[in-house]
Amino acid sequence: MVSIIIPAYNEEKALPHTLSELLCQPGDYEVIVVDGGSTDRTHAVVQDFSLSTQHSALRSFRFLDAPKGRASQMNAGAKEADGEWLLFLHADTVLPSGAIQRLNGMEADLTIQAGGFMHRFSGGDWRLKLISFLDNIRCVRSRIIYGDQALFVRRPLFEQLGGFPNQSILEDVAFCEKLINVTKPLILSPSVVTDARKFLKMGVWRSFFRVLLIILHVEFRLPILPRSFFQDVR
């Protein structure tokens, strides 16, 4: 079974589409949404889906609260998960069709311990396509999987590595730096699709510069980026 863990904070705009697409997926899975203290309708959105879903493949649909921060929220969800696979999905990102069944089929192959997906943004903006292209090259080369690439990892290995480190930024990078020391993550396609809304709202070139700085920080061990660099955009 796949435990899909979705950290959320004020995601009333993106979460409905993500959940709608997710609950159309066939396969053996459960969904755990972990809220970090949202002040919008995120809780109500999850309640609506929890009450209305009758999807036969879905084992359970749960809502948890945890201190704000992706590491904190994802670790809280992982503690409650029952699946062999833990899949961490951003609230504005959609899995490709058949992704859960594909992971179900890989459960028996213990040579595969972790992985993620290639990435692209919604819409047709060529600048966002360029960002995804460069980031996918980086990912294939380094095997460092960013949070919006739907990282999946076997639960025993996740626990062995101590989960996501308790830091406010780049927790995905820090975890994957430990992960690649013990296994080679699999990179799957077709891509997950992230809603471009936040990047467009921030400004595409500013977003591009932001991603580039993160890549340089990771690749060349530049000093840690300030927390303000990761400001919330909703």
Domains belonging to the chain, first-starting first, are 2-230 (3.90.550.10)
Strand partners, 2: 29, 85
Between residues 25 and 198, which one has the greater pLDDT?
25
Lowest mean pLDDT among 29-38, 105-114, 129-138, 212-221: 212-221
Q: Are 148 and 170 in contact (CB under 8 A)?
A: no
- Rounded Cα gap, residues 9 and 220, in angstroms: 31
Pairing of strands 152-154, 114-121: antiparallel
In 3D space, the residue among 113, 106, 87 whose CA is nearest the CA of residue 180 turns out to be 113
In 3D space, the residue among 70, 79, 98 whose CA is nearest the CA of residue 190 turns out to be 98
What pLDDT score does 196 carry? 86
Q: Judge whether residue 222 has pLDDT over 70.
A: no
- Rounded Cα gap, residues 164 and 159, in angstroms: 9
Residues 60-85 have a mean pLDDT of 95
Task: Concatenate the DSSP letters of all residues of 144-195 into one string.
Answer: PPPGGG--EEEHHHHHHTTSS-S-SS-HHHHHHHHHTTT---EEEEEEEEE-
Sheet holding 85-88, edge to edge: 58-65, 29-35, 2-8, 85-88, 152-154, 114-121, 186-194, 93-94
- Rounded Cα gap, residues 180 and 214, in angstroms: 19
Within 10 Å of residue 114's Cβ, how many Cβ atoms? 24
Residues 39-53 have a mean pLDDT of 86
- Rounded Cα gap, residues 137 and 103, in angstroms: 23
- Tens-place pLDDT, residues 60-71: 899 999 999 999
Residues 195-200 have a mean pLDDT of 81
> What's this model's pTM, rounded to 2 decimal places?
0.88
- Rounded Cα gap, residues 216 and 194, in angstroms: 22
Tell me phi and psi for residue 70, to 5 degrees: -60, -40
Residues 153-166 have a mean pLDDT of 96
Cα 83 to Cα 5, 52, 80, 180, 232: the distances in Å are 11, 23, 10, 22, 30
Alpha-carbon torsion, ordered 30, 171, 153, 211, to 10 deg: 100
What pLDDT score does 197 carry? 83
- Rounded Cα gap, residues 143 and 137, in angstroms: 10
What pLDDT score does 220 carry? 64
With a pLDDT cut of 90, the percent of the chain lying above it is: 65
Evaluate the omega torsion of the peptide bond into residue 190 and state whether it is cis, within 30 degrees of 0. Answer: yes
